[in-house]
Amino acid sequence: MNQMTPPAQPDPALPPAVSVRGLRKRYGKLEVLKGINFDAHRGEVVSILGSSGSGKSTLLRCINMLEIPEAGTVTVDGTEIALVTRRDGGRRPADPRAMDQLRARIGMVFQDFNLWSHKTVLGNVIEAPTHVQKRPRAECIAEARALLDKVGIADKADQYPSRLSGGQQQRAAIARALAMNPAVMLFDEPTSALDPELVGEVLRVIRALAEEGRTMLIVTHEVSFARDISDTVVFMNDGVIEESGPPEEVFAAGNNTRLARFVEG
């Protein structure tokens, strides 16, 4: 990293960066989230583990309302995302503009990168700062270059995503999310689509962000990485949080057989 900041400690005195209460989500008959409660404090790194289909991605997508939960509340940085009930029983955001503003404060990094294919790496990073936050272009470009340098792909700024390796694309996607200076970063299996030899470069960037004291929720299958960098580990199973706490407690032997089986792979 360019500037070394002392590792920040999560601060439970402040209101949580993310607070989820009674969250429920179903797809048709399938209930994917069955009442989720948790808080992520400022500066806290939360890893979310769980078997495939346990609802981890759905949980992240509900936090920034890419999926609208049927019940429950999500509060980000003190602002609750207001939902109103539609006539057909589903819910929708009460104020779409407020939702956009809130989403702009939540950075999201996807499993398959999802960089915009018609823009260069630099174009990807400055897109939302210039058009959503409407900040001066020159300032955004300068910041974007610094971020690309930070994630180690400064030399790729003018390349198109299709010319980058998976690891480089994911680091560009991380820079794109950081450019909005989000209150919280959501990572959905950021290394799952990568060849094994490219995983390390992305994990290094995420680790550096953790050491900077950024608030992050990370869905991952990299158990030892999660154990290493997390303040809190959450284990999801079948739509509920089964275990949650500091890694050394959650991973303590004999604690939860399902978790033990998951850790062993």
Partner 1 sequence: MDFEFLSQTFVALLPGIPVTLELATLSLMLGAGLALAFAVVRVRRLRPLNWLVIGYVYVFRGTPLLVQLFIIYYGLAQFPEIRSSFAWTYLREPYWCALLALALNTAAYGSEILRGALLSVPRGQIMAAQACGMSGFLLFRRIVFPIALRQALPAYGNEFILMIKATSLASLVTLADVTGIAARIIAETYRPVEVFVAAGTIYLAISYGLILLVRVAETRLNPDRRDPAPVAGVGAARKEVTP
If one counts every other C-beta atom within 10 angstroms of the C-beta of residue 175, the result is: 28
CB 80 within 8 A of CB 23: no
Identify the DSSP state of 134.
Answer: -
Least separation in angstroms between CB 117 and ligand ATP:
23
Task: Find the part of the chain contacting partner 1 (CB under 8 A) among 46-54, 80-88, 125-133, 254-262.
Answer: 125-133
Q: Which residue of 12, 22, 53, 90 would you call a contact of ligand ATP, by CB under 6 A?
A: 53
Identify the DSSP state of 162.
Answer: G
Q: What sign results for the dihedral spanned by CA atoms 85, 62, 216, 255?
A: positive
What is the pattern of x (binds partner 1, CB under 8 A) and - over residues 63-102? -x-x-----------------------------x---xxx
Q: Which residue of 57, 124, 169, 220 would you call a contact of ligand ATP, by CB under 6 A?
A: 57
- Report how far apart, in Å, the C-alpha atoms of 223 and of each of 42, 152, 214, 215, 260 are: 23, 25, 20, 19, 11
What is the pattern of x (binds Mg ion, CB under 5 A) and - over residues 47-76? ----------x-------------------
CB 235 within 8 A of CB 49: yes
Q: Residues in contact with partner 1, total (CB under 8 A)?
A: 49
- Strands 232-237 and 240-245, by their bridges, are antiparallel
**In 89-195, which ranges are continuous DSSP H helix?**
96-103, 121-131, 137-150, 166-178
Task: Find the part of the chain contacting ligand ATP (CB under 6 A) among 5-13, 53-61, 137-145, 163-171.
Answer: 53-61
Q: Which residue of 83, 144, 151, 250 would you call a contact of partner 1, by CB under 8 A?
A: 151
Rule CB under 5 A: is residue 120 a binding residue for Mg ion? no
- Report how far apart, in Å, the C-alpha atoms of 77 and of each of 16, 144, 182, 231 are: 6, 24, 10, 19
Partner in contact with 260, chosen from partner 1, ligand ATP, Mg ion, none, beta carbon below 5 to 8 Å by kind = none
Identify the DSSP state of 198.
Answer: H
d(CA 182, CA 214) in angstroms, rounded, equals: 9
Nearer to Mg ion, 38 or 110 (CB): 110
Rule CB under 6 A: is residue 56 a binding residue for ligand ATP? yes
Query: Among residue numbers 1 through 20, which ones bind Mg ion (CB under 5 A)?
Result: none
Which positions lie near partner 1, rule CB under 8 A? Answer: 1-2, 64, 66, 96, 100-104, 106-108, 110, 112, 114-118, 127-128, 131-132, 149-153, 159-168, 171, 173, 176, 180, 195, 197-198, 201, 204-205
